[in-house]
Structure 1
């Protein structure tokens, strides 16, 4: 069974604070009122979904282009841009997700440590137990990558805080192509672990891009380049390789149906639920943003439906 955006969005709606690719601590928003815990949890759950949608839509765009559907490819790219530059970024602002350069590096290091020493080794062992050898090998490889990323970030932190050495250059990116295809894993547990890992990598990609922008805005161009390079690895290598094994990408018509279901769920269920909860908590800014994004997602669903109708 292919991972479904609507299934993943449903799982997100009940998500509590969990360890993800980039660990973050609750922080006060710029507003005078600190949001309620449930509002923070809902915001982070929404960001995790937006990061996944952004990454998935870029792969769907590539598949549409391969099939000769140029306009649909552009629709997916523009929608992916909205998910990151508008939705993810505004949600991040609600909870002061981006801190100082030093704080951002430390958060990133903790996320990379967790993935390198706990999450991916666990997933690799479970995949081996279930006979999913390719997944076990991929999880092991990514764990090693994340350990290297942590070392690069540690060097950056030392350079930033002590002036010793210099912020390292970003890692090389080896992009993975993800054509339409069936899942390449057998067990339900491995599929679930791939699903979780893809959400984490999508979140890390979006988070690192925000960290990069903050670094650039504060004059730390080498740090910005490092975060941008790490973001590309998370997206073009890790997320893509996991998506290939998971069979995330199908033909364009099927991708559109999956996207419509996910956007409709977010527009009609997830974001309205988050908005009501935020309003009940007195978090007016969050409630207004969730309501605004719900309307955007309804528009995305309509646009995808139009594209599907055009395909016939």
Structure 2
């Protein structure tokens, strides 16, 4: 039972902060919490952002109270906006572009998320019957990322996500079906704080499930669909996620794991997993449902 993953992820879908303008440190707002030490308004630079767009406390983000920064991953959208959309002209030298650039970054982040999913889907053997359609969707999404700032902001990205999601759903059914059945269907389920230690979740549909603070230690998640699952503070210690589909680095970073957690080949083990943390199944952030703008 397996679903192959690319051994080497496309470089343009990996965050390259050296070629970005600190967009994730300026555009989004955040509030003082267990994830952020301070309040920050949208469009205002974080005080830790240096003039060269580097983070002044990068090595000590968690110790300084900025754990949320270590979770976020733009999937390469930052450098695409900086170097392709705006051709290397940053918002400090051209302040008139600042607000537009931050809005474009939000759109680009969603398009790059779709690129991640479509690239993965094309590599999944059970989905070979719909590869031509997946290839067309990938090419179209690539072309959208190269639109002008004005055209990107005119794009109905929510509608486009829904369109692509139909293909991703078909991919999911094919992959999960290869597990001998479609498995447990808990799409969008409220599993906050659930005790699922050692659970057999092979081929499960966990799309959009709220798994905040859930205990999935030792669980078998092979071939499970985790697209959009909320994995904040989810205990994945010793869990087997090999062959799970539509999991991103963002999701992995938000969870807690250890050296025994088995991940898809395309993802890396976060360094903060190796730092002693709270007891298994305990969340480090408030466990409360967050509103969602998109339907899975």
TM-score, structure 2 normalization: 0.33
Higher RCO (C-alpha under 8 Å, 6+ residues apart): 1
TM-score, structure 1 normalization: 0.32
